[in-house]
Structure 1
Amino acid sequence: MKLKQKLVEKPWGKEVLPEMFHAKSEKKIGEVWFEAPKGVTPQLMVKYLFTSEKLSIQVHPNDRQARRVGLPHGKDECWFILDAEPDAVLGLGLKKKVSGTKLKTAAILGEIEDLMDWKPVKKGDFFYIPAGTIHAIGPGISLVEVQRNVDITYRIYDYGRPRELHLEEAIAVAKLTDYDMKYSSEVPADMSASLLVGAPFELFQIVGTDDEVISQTGSKEWQIIPLEGSVTVRGKLIGAGECGICPRYSDIDLSQNGTSLIACTKT
């Protein structure tokens, strides 16, 4: 099935989106979500993000921590960079290990940006963000985010915007150290590749019909995000800027020879 597109206003968003979204808005659109119909709850959630300003510095809990507050699981996510201005950066972990007290003090005093490890990014970069990773997205970036479908974010710092912070909760779940670059990669645009395996979900870039990198066993949910061209999912044409979902990999027809991201849950 084709999921419904939803434009989400954000203070750090953009007024002009890529042409594939056919969207005109006088508001700042920061995210494009894909929603399932009532009664269907996907295990994964796909979003496009477009930034003109810095996003909040934040963190998500792992499974054990999330269950303590009544949620079914924690939140891991990943980012595939579609476009980035020359000076664009992501905040991934801390420059060095610090105490929870130091992190909290830096957040209160507005000095936490100096603790963050800001890494330059470019088109085609990929980053997996395990639960517990302190992270932020800078301005001038367009990306696809794939995440476990649960609504839990602990905001540490928001540059003075009038939104709620969650310092105590964040410090309790955060890894107060640096980011392991083994979770990142540079993805060639012209070839299929396995971007993420062995995590709570898996992600692949598929170019044309070259899908040998995909293991089709076990998963009961597949989400397809065409980046160029289109695919057919259970008879529905899914184009760039759209998202489809199906229970079996055999429901996906790649014969249109586009380029897509394909995500699946891990059994």
Structure 2
Amino acid sequence: MIEKVWGRTALPAPFTAPAGKKIGEIWFEPPPELPQVLVKYLFTSEKLSVQVHPSDADALPGEAGKEECWLVLDAQPGAQLAIGFNRQVSPEQIAAAARDGSIEALLSWHNAQVGDVFFLPAGTVHAIGPGLALVEVQQSSDTTFRLYDYGRPRELHLERALAVAKGVPYPVCHRSSVAARGQTLINADHFRLDRIEGAPDADVSATYFGALLALPLSGEVRARSVQARAGPGECLFAESIEALDFTDAGVTLLTRAK
């Protein structure tokens, strides 16, 4: 559990925040066999900073690129996500807006609903609004460049952010929903994410060769050869999809590196 200024003191079941702690993120540390993918839950009570992540090509030594996606698990009325700009803007316009705080008005704010899926390529300027519970799957990187943070006393990284930020609207093709996407939610350069109900079918099984993570949203997933199992709020690593038992599974997210 990671404390954040924008986190919550009351978390949805099955989680419980320690007394007096504002928990914003719950990380499942990548196992040594699958270091490329990081899975998180996010819980927001305030706006997150306006930020951007570099690609592998843009990252400096000691940094790591980051593409990511969000699946909306819960959204209070009026909850929004800011992704991309509402028109094409220059680096100079982004810089000026970040300095005077008007960058919020330049961003494109998207109403969020349960089941929405958003893919964020590296270089996409974004912010998460309050009242949301999300699953985030990403490259295993914490390289974040903040452009604006609502006056909070945290470091900004304007020069680095401007070097990687894309001053364009968010492509419609990167937003979808569970209902529209079917099983495969994201098939990106660095990871794949699928949502299955019960056991995976032959099409999904055929694409999951090697190590993977299973994140049950309902029901339970078990390992076949060892005494390991995971239910809601937990994450299970396996060396192959054949090593998992989905007899008691409900809705499960599966992800692997590419």
Q: TM-score range by the shorter chain?
A: over 0.9
Letter in 2 for 1:82: L
Letter in 1 for 2:110: K
1:47 aligns with one of 40, 44, 56: 40
| Kept after mapping to 2: 8 A contact 1:125/1:187 | yes
- Structure 1: state its 5+ residue gaps: 1-6
Q: 1:163 to 1:23 in 2, by over 3 A?
A: closer
Give the alignment's Cα RMSD to 1 decimal.
1.9
1:1-267 → structure 2 map (5 Å cutoff)? 7-36=1-30, 42-66=35-59, 68-71=60-63, 73-188=64-179, 193-217=183-207, 219-234=209-224, 235=226, 236-266=228-258
Aligned length: 256
Letter in 2 for 1:96: R
| Kept after mapping to 1: 8 A contact 2:30/2:37 | no
* Cα distance in structure 2, aligned partners of 1:226 and 1:218: 17
Structure richer in strand, relative to its length: 1
1:36 is displaced (CA, Å) by 4.7
Q: State percent identity of aligned pairs.
A: 47
1:88 is displaced (CA, Å) by 0.5
Q: Deviations over 1:35-86 (max 9, x none)?
A: 256x6662111110000000001000111111x3344x41000000000011
Larger mean Cα displacement after TM superposition, 45-54 or 256-265 = 256-265
Q: 1:128 to 1:55 in 2, by over 3 A?
A: same
User: What SS does the corresponding residue of 2:8 show, helix, strand or coil?
Assistant: strand
Letter in 1 for 2:184: S
* Cα distance in structure 1, aligned partners of 2:88 and 2:209: 37
| Kept after mapping to 2: 8 A contact 1:192/1:211 | no
- Structure 2: state its 5+ residue gaps: none
Q: TM-score, normalised by structure 2?
A: 0.93
Q: Deviations over 1:134-155 (max 9, x none)?
A: 0110000000000100221111
* Cα distance in structure 2, aligned partners of 1:92 and 1:264: 25
1:217 is displaced (CA, Å) by 4.5
Q: 1:217 to 1:19 in 2, by over 3 A?
A: closer
Q: Deviations over 1:125-168 (max 9, x none)?
A: 00111000001100000000001002211111111100000001
* Cα distance in structure 2, aligned partners of 1:211 and 1:17: 33
